[in-house]
């Protein structure tokens, strides 16, 4: 059986590397195959699953240096039917690619905003005068490098091999332990695993409004491994809260806690339970 897997393309992105690791595991453990389907944005990859054009999507959720990937969280909040099936941790090692004869000949550097931010210190030290150009992915601008020798791009060594481009420097990320967590999403319900994820908005911005939902987990000795906020985009000062807990949805304490949580939230969305895997 073959299932379709959407990811942020083009070929050579870190999202594709996560998709390949997931596909290999899936074939070994589930005995199914994935057909990889690149999309030009994270939102479009997730929407493809919501529209049933693809069976799965693998999307970045959080980077160890730059934090959450806002496009992923904002899109998941807007969609109602997607569930996390697995989480994958991918090591990130950035390289500077260019056709320039010398690194000092580079006038602009292109890449995804997260990649540019993860290499900010190196860029300020080695190329303080270059123009930084954000793109939708780490590989979007690579086909322009041959015709523009003064342009550089931040991408993976694998991308350099795929596009036959020279690597002028590697690694250039500011922190050697840089890694990104990806979620494998589908419309299938997911109840089992070591972690669960959810998000909620509050009915009003009053003292204690957030404390009460958090106390629900504390009273049940359920550890939260992540909590962060995103603006609702309705009004300044209104937020959506994303939470990861270290328990699955089948746990009686979690079920009773979520039932109680409904009374303190305006909107509550459960993204499912899942296990975490490592991708090399």
What is the number of structural domains in the chain? 3
pTM for the structure as a whole:
0.92
Report which DSSP code applies to 87: E
64 with 103, same domain?
A: no
How much is the pLDDT for 182?
98
Show pLDDT as tens, one digit a residue, over the chain (280 residues).
789 999 999 999 999 999 999 999 888 887 778 899 999 999 999 999 999 999 999 999 999 999 999 999 999 999 988 999 999 999 999 999 999 999 999 999 999 999 999 999 999 999 999 999 999 999 998 988 989 999 999 999 999 999 999 999 999 999 999 999 999 999 999 988 999 999 999 987 777 789 999 999 999 999 999 999 999 888 887 899 999 999 999 999 999 999 999 999 999 999 999 999 998 7
CA–CA gap between residue 98 and residue 250 (Å, rounded): 51
102 with 148, same domain?
A: yes
Q: Which of 186, 220, 244 is the last residue of a domain?
A: 186
* DSSP element (H, E) containing 2: strand 2-8
7 with 81, same domain?
A: yes
Residues 6+ apart with CB under 8 A from 210: 202, 241
103 with 80, same domain?
A: no
182 with 61, same domain?
A: yes
- Give the 3-state secondary structure of 122-136: HHHHHCCCCEEEECC
111 with 243, same domain?
A: no
63, 179 contact by CB (below 8 A): yes
7 with 78, same domain?
A: yes
Phi, psi of 230 (to 5 degrees): -135, 145
Q: Which of 153, 186, 219 is the last residue of a domain?
A: 186
84 with 109, same domain?
A: no
How much is the pLDDT for 80?
83
SS3 (DSSP) at 221:
coil
Phi, psi of 226 (to 5 degrees): -160, 140
Domain at 123, CATH number: 3.40.190.10
228 with 240, same domain?
A: yes
The closest of 279, 270, 211 to 24, measured between CA atoms, is 279
Q: 37 is in which domain, residue-wise? A: 2-92+178-186
Q: Computed over its alpha carbons, how large is the radius of gyration of the chain?
A: 20
111 with 87, same domain?
A: no
How much is the pLDDT for 153?
97
63 with 50, same domain?
A: yes
How much is the pLDDT for 237?
79
7 with 80, same domain?
A: yes
Residues 6+ apart with CB under 8 A from 213: 200, 202, 241, 261, 264, 265
């Amino acid at each position: 059986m073959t299932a379709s897997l959407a990811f942020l393309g083009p070929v050579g992105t870190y999202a594709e590397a996560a998709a390949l690791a997931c596909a290999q595991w899936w074939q070994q453990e589930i005995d199914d195959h994935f057909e990889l389907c690149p999309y030009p944005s994270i939102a479009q990859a997730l929407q493809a699953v919501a529209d049933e054009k693809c069976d799965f999507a693998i999307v970045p959720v959080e980077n160890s240096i730059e934090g959450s990937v806002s496009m992923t969280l904002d899109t998941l909040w807007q969609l109602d039917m997607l569930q996390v099936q697995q989480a994958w941790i991918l090591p990130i090692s950035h390289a500077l690619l260019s056709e320039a004869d010398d690194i000092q000949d580079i006038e602009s550097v292109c890449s995804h905003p997260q990649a540019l931010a993860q290499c900010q210190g190196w860029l300020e030290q080695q190329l303080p005068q270059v123009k930084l150009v954000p793109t939708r992915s780490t590989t979007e601008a690579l086909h322009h490098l041959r015709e523009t020798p003064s342009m550089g791009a931040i991408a993976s060594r694998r991308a350099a091999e795929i596009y036959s481009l020279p690597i002028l420097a590697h690694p250039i990320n500011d922190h050697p332990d840089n890694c990104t967590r990806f979620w494998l999403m589908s419309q299938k319900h997911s109840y089992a695993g070591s972690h669960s994820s959810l998000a909620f908005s509050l009915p009003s911005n009053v003292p204690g409004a957030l404390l009460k939902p958090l106390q629900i987990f504390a009273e049940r000795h359920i550890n939260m491994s992540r909590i962060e906020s995103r603006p609702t985009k309705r009004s300044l000062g209104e937020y959506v809260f994303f939470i990861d807990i270290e328990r699955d949805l089948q746990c009686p304490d979690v079920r009773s806690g979520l039932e109680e949580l409904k009374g303190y939230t305006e909107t509550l969305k459960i993204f499912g339970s899942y296990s975490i895997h490592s991708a090399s």
